[in-house]
Structure 1
């Protein structure tokens, strides 16, 4: 008994050392990308992959990456953070094209890759289907980080993130069906497949919705930021584990719960300060997990095995790019024609090329049963394709945005926001000086001097803002958007406060949102 305890303690200590080593390397690389200006040209996630490849090249293996590690530990917080920050108002506008890309697009991707591998690489169809299913899940983390940095449109970011959140679930569900084919356990009757699909998706939506709404109403009863923050963490992992236990899709469950808590629960159950605390917590957690995942992706590469499968990898890459073009352009045109989505060719081009593959694809490949003789070939192919998308497509997305003239004026907007923020803050300080009595021990001259100093700084800020707006007239539209967002936030917060006080039974829809949308339509 004592011996077993000693062994377990030694194992825990060894795992802790490995974890600290991975964490130290990943955070050092992520920090380096912020300190050294040259490295800022590369998204930090891609820089982590490159460093991981360097470690793999010299045969330094930090830790063995397993599907359980990715799907059970790393995936829930990444999905929840993305869903928490995805605004339902934006998602609703493009729900039809997003669902088309996430459902029909996944089917097109699986079928196209499987057909190509079967016809031109001689891969058995059952194996080819598993490769296609593994690679049908997109991972836009690096690209969306680049979008935010460069000021690309919010709609483009929503389309890419929305598709990824939903197609991750579709890819996992499809893989779970297809993996049974080479094992001889598959029931390929169409009614059975449709029924199983509805059950898996339905359980995910049901559990995610139940827990999401349950926590939303629970947090109305108290105002404890740390408890509310902890509840969101419990929700992310609890929804995933419970849904999987019940036979549903944990991915779809977490996305559903995250969307509800981010768009509904955070409004009716959390005050503005708590929302900021929770959002910052999830931003940290996403950065933390991404830093580890992308480093380990590069570190897991086996160059010898990749070399043996270069032909299969090349065919898979070509098929994947071609099928994604068919899905994005074809389904985009269909959506534009049927529901007038009005997704321009330039946006669809970025969606096509920005469809990177990442951790979910690798987790699915690693979860292929060991009894399958083609397992190593599947893993090598998926790793090779993921590496191509991250390094080639990931590093060329910025030039593509520049060529299509889709880079916004993010730095200019940031300067404007900082100037207005300082103006608001100093206005409040000046109001405090004018409305409160002079504290004991503070001389009148010093009091007047501070007041004059603040007024002088406010005049300087106002002049700077006027010059900026005169030089860049397009800032006027941004200023109107900021003003409208502030009004909507005040209205929504007021409804939430009235719900917490018991003066309303439910939160009302923002009146200003409807009014503003109506004015835009009329104009």
Structure 2
């Protein structure tokens, strides 16, 4: 018994050492852009992949990736953080094209990749379909991280994130159906496939909704920021595990829970201070997990195995890109015709090229049964394609956005908001300083010196803001939209305060629904 206990302790210590090593390397990579300015041209997530490749090249393996590690440990918090920040009114506006991309787009992707591999690489159709299913879903982790870092437009980011968050359910169902084909334990049946798809998605939405609304009403009963923050973390993992145990899509369950908590629960059950604490916590957790995931993706590459499957990888890449083009351009125009989505051709081009694959594809490939003879070929192909999308497509997405003028005034807006934030902070500092003027022990010389410094900084910032507004008149529309959003947020917070105080018996959701349906003009 003592020997088993000692062995268990050794394993825990070894795992902790591995975890700290991975984290240390990741955080070290995060500091590179601050030390070497050239690295600032590369998004942080892609820089992690490159460093991971460097480690793999010298055969330094930090830890072995497994489908359980990706799907159960890493994916739920990343999905939750992305969905928590999605605004329902924006998502609802583009729900039609997102659903088309997430469902029909996945089918087109599987068919395109399978056809290419079968016809041009001589791969058995059942194996080709399995590779297509593994690569059919754009990865929410990769896409969300990249588009946020690049500062892409809000509409474009919503379309890409929405598709990435919702197409995983379809991809996982397709993979589950197709993985039995090469083993000879199942045949394709359209009716059963559709039934399983709706069952998996329905269970995910149902359990996600129950958890989301349950926690939303629970947090109305108390105001404990740390407890409420912990509940969101518990909800992310518990929703995923419970949904998977009931045969549903854990991905869809987590996304549903996060959408409800982010758009409803955080409004009626959390005061503004708590919402900020929870949001910052999830931003930290997403950075933390992203730092590990992207480093390990690069570190898992086996160059010898990739070299042996170069032809298959090349055919898969071409087939995937062509299938993605057919899917995006066709479905976008269909959505424009049916629902007046007004997705422009430049936006469609970015959606096509920015369809990165990542951890979800790798997890599905690693889930292929060891009894399948072609397992190593499938894993090598998927890893090679994921590496291409992250490095080639990922590194060229920003130039494409700039070429198509889709980054817009995002850098200017950020510069303006930073100046405003600094000015507000200094103004509050000045107001506090004035309250200390008559405090015993404070000399007038010190007070006047500090006041002069602060007023000088405020005046410099005001000149900078005035210059920005003179040079870029389009910022005025952005400022107006920002103020409109702030006013709506204050109105929603006021309703929530009345509910918590028991002064408003009427259900709050109609109020919030009215507010959320109002256009805020953000782009």
| TM-score of Structure 1 vs Structure 2, range by shorter chain | over 0.9
Asked if 2 retains the 8 angstrom alpha-carbon contact of 1:204 and 1:248, the reply is yes
| Deviation at residue 4 of structure 1 after TM alignment | 1.1
> Structure 2: where are the runs of 5+ without partners?
none
| Deviation at residue 87 of structure 1 after TM alignment | 1.2
SS state at 2:512 partner: coil
TM-score by length of 2: 0.94
| Deviation at residue 336 of structure 1 after TM alignment | 0.4
Deviation readout 1:471-511 (Å, 9 max, x if unpaired): 21111111111111111111111111112112233221365
| Deviation at residue 61 of structure 1 after TM alignment | 1.2
- CA distance 1:142–1:190, shift in 2 (3 Å): closer
Match of 1:492 in 2: 492
Question: Is 1:372 aligned to residue 372 of structure 2?
Answer: yes
- CA distance 1:468–1:129, shift in 2 (3 Å): same
Question: Is 1:22 aligned to residue 25 of structure 2?
Answer: no
Provide the rounded CA distance (Å) in 1 between the counterparts of 2:206 and 2:487: 34
Provide the rounded CA distance (Å) in 1 between the counterparts of 2:88 and 2:360: 24
SS state at 1:371 partner: coil
| Deviation at residue 427 of structure 1 after TM alignment | 3.9
- CA distance 1:455–1:240, shift in 2 (3 Å): same
Match of 2:396 in 1: 396
Asked if 1 retains the 8 angstrom alpha-carbon contact of 2:492 and 2:515, the reply is no
- CA distance 1:416–1:360, shift in 2 (3 Å): same
SS state at 1:509 partner: helix
Matching of residues 185-200 of structure 1 within 5 Å: 185-186=185-186, 188-200=188-200
Match of 2:114 in 1: 114
- Aligned Cα root-mean-square deviation (Å): 2.1
Match of 2:439 in 1: 439
Question: Is 1:280 aligned to residue 280 of structure 2?
Answer: yes
Question: Is 1:305 aligned to residue 305 of structure 2?
Answer: yes
SS state at 2:306 partner: helix
Provide the rounded CA distance (Å) in 2 between the counterparts of 1:154 and 1:74: 25
| Deviation at residue 108 of structure 1 after TM alignment | 0.4
| Deviation at residue 310 of structure 1 after TM alignment | 0.9
- CA distance 1:65–1:150, shift in 2 (3 Å): closer
Deviation readout 1:77-116 (Å, 9 max, x if unpaired): 1111111111111111100000000000000000111111
| Deviation at residue 439 of structure 1 after TM alignment | 3.5
Question: Is 1:417 aligned to residue 420 of structure 2?
Answer: no
Asked if 2 retains the 8 angstrom alpha-carbon contact of 1:137 and 1:167, the reply is yes
Asked if 1 retains the 8 angstrom alpha-carbon contact of 2:78 and 2:286, the reply is yes
Deviation readout 1:175-217 (Å, 9 max, x if unpaired): 1111122223325333222222111111110111100110111
Match of 1:509 in 2: 512
Matching of residues 353-372 of structure 1 within 5 Å: 353-372=353-372
| Deviation at residue 432 of structure 1 after TM alignment | 5.4
Match of 1:241 in 2: 241
Provide the rounded CA distance (Å) in 1 between the counterparts of 2:444 and 2:10: 68
TM-score by length of 1: 0.94
Moved more, 312-321 or 478-487: 478-487
| Deviation at residue 417 of structure 1 after TM alignment | 1.4
> Aligned pair count?
518
Asked if 1 retains the 8 angstrom alpha-carbon contact of 2:78 and 2:141, the reply is no
Provide the rounded CA distance (Å) in 1 between the counterparts of 2:306 and 2:189: 36
